[in-house]
Structure 1
């Protein structure tokens, strides 16, 4: 059976024949039944999947995809094959003519993690024979840790049970980023599509394991890197920020604060480059989006947003009169339509990896781009001191241009050239440079030192601190009966109180049989390549013990060193859905701990893990606390009394409305 020569698609009013990747997908799926399409964003994987369903003459195709892409799938199916019967978000439509024509059921990923999912799958399989299952953005069903997600289990259950009903079942997995953090992700995708356990694929991030997984992905799938033939102009705009060096030295105590300052320097350059239908991208948003909006509107442009918590500007930017769209990482996946109107992207703060940047650019450099040229601009700040040149942005740009990651090795077979600097390591480089500069008035950054009182310390000072702050119990009570924002402001004004607390904490834990942060380190040492947030990190000992093994974001009211970000932990400078693990080791303190859990829910990926240690005697209602976590979208895996502590481990199993989260100790 060959692809009919007359087949063509209508895209933006143009008759377009299938490209080579789309034809190859259809033919290989017909011949092999199980395959992965790992082609880049914007190369036409959706059309390839639709074409495949017709080449194998699938009477019933199940498409599992992100919620945001359901309208696009529906529209493409009806545009390409208007005679198709399509139903949305319904496991069991009532079709009496299933053996005639071509039917499609579109289900979003979240539908596979509900309590009712097994029953719906059972009814579906009893009623119909499935010919093809397409899992779009299949990396959202990958196995990230030692605990398989309910979503992945249910998708695998659908595939394996559908195979029992139909031995000729075809399965197509689609993802431009099958490996992001670790090799376990890629291995799990191979196992999901084939239904075969692959114990031969090692998960430790070694070169041999990368190449072995690369071989498996190449054998099972195809990967097209061919984009529409448009010219891409990449332009860097130098921005001298030497006049801000003193301010950065004094105030840039975290990545976020530094980027807030540098955004102010970039804004004049950004304003000069604005044209109607320009997207301004910023990886960090807090204290940055407001600056951009005010400046852009001040020039007379209309502004919309497409970010994690506010996607209200998307439709009006594509179909309406909005001139400028301010976007964050939410734009990088599952979005179509920007290419119809936009050919200009300005990177205020770019993503951290080349894979993320590739996905972002793929929203514009994709089929349906109506312009001949795509312009990508990046304002690049730099500082000078007696001829010495240093640029934070140039370092970021070089990082994006280098192919040195585990993902590049496993997916594209690119041999790593070395270890990338983590975000915190890169930020430490910046701080060291700022300290070396001699320009202007010298300002020293004094970091609070945690100390333990020794016999030769002035007893008068020890007595003063004890009288002023109280013993460990009184300090715990004061912090627990205040709102975190209040405690944060108080400690920022008087870091000595924070130092005193941790001095007493060091003494207290000497008598404990179990020390929570040490248990966290042991647990994380058995895993690799995770993105972890340590909420209330104190001495940042978790990050210190696991340097090079995981990316650890450390947050506390006061920063003991440059790797710690000072903030109210109810509002941390992280993007939505970026964490694999969120940890609270004796740090759920304050009247608003629900805000902490809300922040963990916001920043954790689906299937990410929440880790909590609390003093059992401090918990008024353990079952009520558990119910609160469950209402916040977490599935409890462990609830154990360990010594004097209560230990909880939970998986984020569903997205919930963050404003509804209420948790009490």
Structure 2
């Protein structure tokens, strides 16, 4: 029997649950540190590696190339861990097969999760830490809620931007019976018992000491691209929460940027060292610099690597098209300029009084002005937030038809999105200019067409280029929206159409949304599609309701 040369010694510490490598040759130490980045570059033997099935698989692979002296009992432990990890990987791969049958969700009746949302949950449970990057409109919120329903994941923490706090609170209540507590301040206090704690990114830094105790079993970071800069207190506070949780999910439709350091930071927060050390990652994946940013040399290769290692799961609308309705309607709350709204409040109150108490002539004139000004102010107040949302869609590869009404709003969009070279189809452009805009959009010269809500009658061809509508401003008439969406939802459209209603909590939007009877549940298509016919309101009644809204606000 040939004598096998060994390059060191490997032992298992039963008490501390770690592997100890000693007496390793120098060149073996260098190779070992490249595979296990948690070993500091300056450290010398003995090296200590925490016991996990993942580490067992890597150690078993390593000693095939560099045999290490081991006793039989420790070898059995290593092989057992390796076998469990291989079984785990086989299980994860089987979940992604079309034939996979997930367990039923426990959402409130009649809500029902889609197959691909349940797949996301099961992959997340299997790999513990994952970045979910499904396309906008595919219901990442529901995928996250399915994770919250797992008893082993509670108590859980949902960390999100301030404008999504209400969204998460409402969705959890809509689809589950879980108890929720919103943490609104950085000042620490005794937390009441709850299944889910919702906290803003801007607040999390005050709770580092609490989260470091490991009281949170599962951490979900919505719009995790907010954490792409690791030099911020927000990032480091979030990392304390993530490091002390058993499972972690990051949600973002646009999580993968071409900037290497930002990609690294996001994934390193979700699963530390999953990409090795920062220097190792830059050496392997970076391809140059632009504006002091390190660029990934082959983004597609990185994306493939992340998917194959179950660090990143992404499905496009095309991937799950058979499960989507013909039109997928999404109501998305966005930020607004409070100062802009406040400047209008006093005028709105005066007009509202005239609408309800003035003479016949005064009522008519005041109603028209209140309607016009309220919608204009609402559109201007949220215009920049709308631009951010539209940019996110376009940068994820989606051409967008953006609907609006007021010139002041168009001007803001043009300024904010000028680098995307938008074309306009509104009441200002001549017929020739409109035709040119239509041609440029259809030919792919630009990915953004800004169109007036009541323009474009008879336009055909947009459906060959675009399947995404964004309502940056709203109309009182549901028919106007239906006709506008029909600009792309017509014969020749090969993809499911998604329409986004971007709304604010101020101005005319809340009332318009109520009157249009838009259902947020359509956003993910998990509620029974059969709905009662919505109540219709006359022009006179809705203006009186708008006036009453401003009068009530001042009482």
TM-score normalised to the size of structure 1? 0.35
Higher relative contact order (CA 8 A, sep 6+): 2
Which structure carries more strand by proportion?
Answer: 1
TM-score normalised to the size of structure 2? 0.42
